Amino acid sequence: MYVDDAIVITEGETDLQLVNAELTKASSLWRCKFAGGKKGPRVLPLMPTHGPPTLTAFDGGKLCGHVPTCVDQITLLGILIDDELSFEPLLSKAVAEMQAIGLQLAAGMSSHGFGIPAMASQFHSRVLGKALHGCELLASCRSGWGHVAKRLNDAQYFVAKAFLCCPHTAHLGSQVAALAETRLLTRASTWLAKSIVMARARLACLPLDHSARLAGITICQTGIPDTWMSSSLKILKKVLQVEYDLWYDLGAIPAEVLFEEKSRKQFLRKYCRQYVLPKIKSLEHSWFGEQLAKLNSDGLVPYADLASLRRCWTARKQWTLWPTSLWHSLAHA
């Protein structure tokens, strides 16, 4: 049996020593053992921004004979967590993955003869879906939402230039020019803001005794500052300007939503469709309209200046792999 990403949260060395001792006893009883080496136990001491570190001289004992390695970053379920909970490494990782996956998508699809519309149709599912996995935590990024949004949108601009077969160093006049030309009409930051708002809604719809829901209720009732709950509320109200927050009236959530997974999914889809998506469409329509109005009337992208930089169009042998049905559909398009 293999168990991945098991995590134990303790307040200090003594508690961790007790946990390791109990886990070692259980392993001996059930005749199993925790892995060592690169997959061995690790400890992430959280260093608060104010006050002394939580763990100064770490000694958490041994787990199955292995001394846990003290690290400053750790990956849990694909999400990068740093010891200061600044989430700056998570942001850098998301930006790097968006650029790398975007370049792969552009190169792969163009080599098989697919153009910009096909690339754009795959951007959200194949690029953003993977690059922004677990990035709902960026609502609490230390540098603030404005910095997060700028870096994500800059990475999307990088990918848009790859779709246009332009060098990443080329200047297209403005980001909106490249996004409009490639039909990437939803900014990456807006996509992430939607994910954050829906994650907040999913927490409100969890069963009554779920620990995450209970923690959220405690935070809201006590008004603890600088938490993910408060940061996600700012994004909901100030960024997307969604009027209805499920956490303001938990009693209005139908009982079946709290106990039935199918009802919960249907309720969340309705919430997204009725309250979130209209705001996103309005926000993006207004932003694109304002930015496009600032461009000159000669065109969105200065192709005359980029002609010498763009690669020439050439047929590829890989096109022979296309099925007959696809050629038939393209001939009648």
List, for residues 87-109, the tens digit of each pLDDT value.
999 999 999 999 999 999 999 99
Buried b (16+ CB within 10 A) or exposed e, 122-134: ebeebbbeebbeb
The answer on 175 and 216 residing in a single domain is no
Domain count, the chain: 3
Q: Is the pLDDT reported for residue 85 higher than 80? A: yes
The answer on 110 and 173 residing in a single domain is yes
The answer on 61 and 17 residing in a single domain is yes
List, for residues 13-51, the tens digit of each pLDDT value.
888 888 888 888 888 888 887 777 777 788 888 875 544
274 domain residue, yes or no: yes
- Helix (H) or strand (E) holding 179, with range, is helix 175-181
State which of 61, 82, 103 marks the end of a domain: 82
The answer on 160 and 73 residing in a single domain is no
State which of 29, 57, 82 marks the end of a domain: 82
The answer on 243 and 180 residing in a single domain is no
Q: Show the tokens assigned to 160.
A: 């848009």
Dihedral sign from CA coordinates of 257, 263, 264, 268:
negative
The answer on 123 and 171 residing in a single domain is yes
Instruction: Decide: pTM greater than 0.95.
Output: no
For the chain, what percent of residues have pLDDT higher than 70? 83
Buried b (16+ CB within 10 A) or exposed e, 302-329: eeeebeeeeeeeeeeeeeeeeeeeeeee
The answer on 74 and 55 residing in a single domain is yes
The answer on 163 and 95 residing in a single domain is yes
4 domain residue, yes or no: no
User: Which of 139, 246, 268 is CA-nearest to residue 193?
Assistant: 139
Which range of residues forms the domain containing residue 221?
195-225+236-284
Buried b (16+ CB within 10 A) or exposed e, 228-264: bbebbbebbeebbebeebbbeeeeebeeebbeeeeeb
Distance CA 89, CA 194 (A): 21
pLDDT at 56: 44
The answer on 260 and 202 residing in a single domain is yes
The answer on 174 and 95 residing in a single domain is yes
Q: Show the tokens assigned to 68.
A: 């846990």
pLDDT band at 298 (very low <50, low <70, confident <90, very high): very low
pLDDT band at 8 (very low <50, low <70, confident <90, very high): confident
Torsion angles phi and psi, residue 79, rounded to 5: -110, 130
Q: Map 83-113 to HEC letters.
A: CCCCCHHHHHHHHHHHHHHHHHHHHHHHHCC
291 domain residue, yes or no: no
Q: Show the tokens assigned to 323.
A: 């099925």
State which of 36, 60, 82 marks the end of a domain: 82
Mean pLDDT of the chain: 84
169 domain residue, yes or no: yes
328 domain residue, yes or no: no
The answer on 122 and 65 residing in a single domain is no
Question: What is 139-153 written as a DSSP string?
Answer: GG-TT-HHHHHHHHH
Contacts of 43 (CB under 8 A, 6+ apart): 16, 55, 58, 60, 68, 69, 70, 71
31 domain residue, yes or no: yes
247 domain residue, yes or no: yes
- CA-to-CA dists, residue 77 to 7, 90, 134, 238, angstroms: 10, 13, 8, 30
How many Å is the Cα radius of gyration of the chain?
Answer: 25
Distance CA 41, CA 53 (A): 21
263 domain residue, yes or no: yes
The answer on 130 and 62 residing in a single domain is no
Q: At what angle do helices 88-111 and 145-163 cross, to 10 degrees?
A: 10
List, for residues 242-290, the tens digit of each pLDDT value.
999 999 989 889 999 999 999 999 999 999 999 999 999 999 999 988 8
**Residues 134, 77 contacting (CB under 8 angstroms):** yes
Q: Is the pLDDT reported for residue 292 higher than 70? A: yes
List, for residues 141-172, the tens digit of each pLDDT value.
999 999 999 999 999 999 999 998 888 888 77
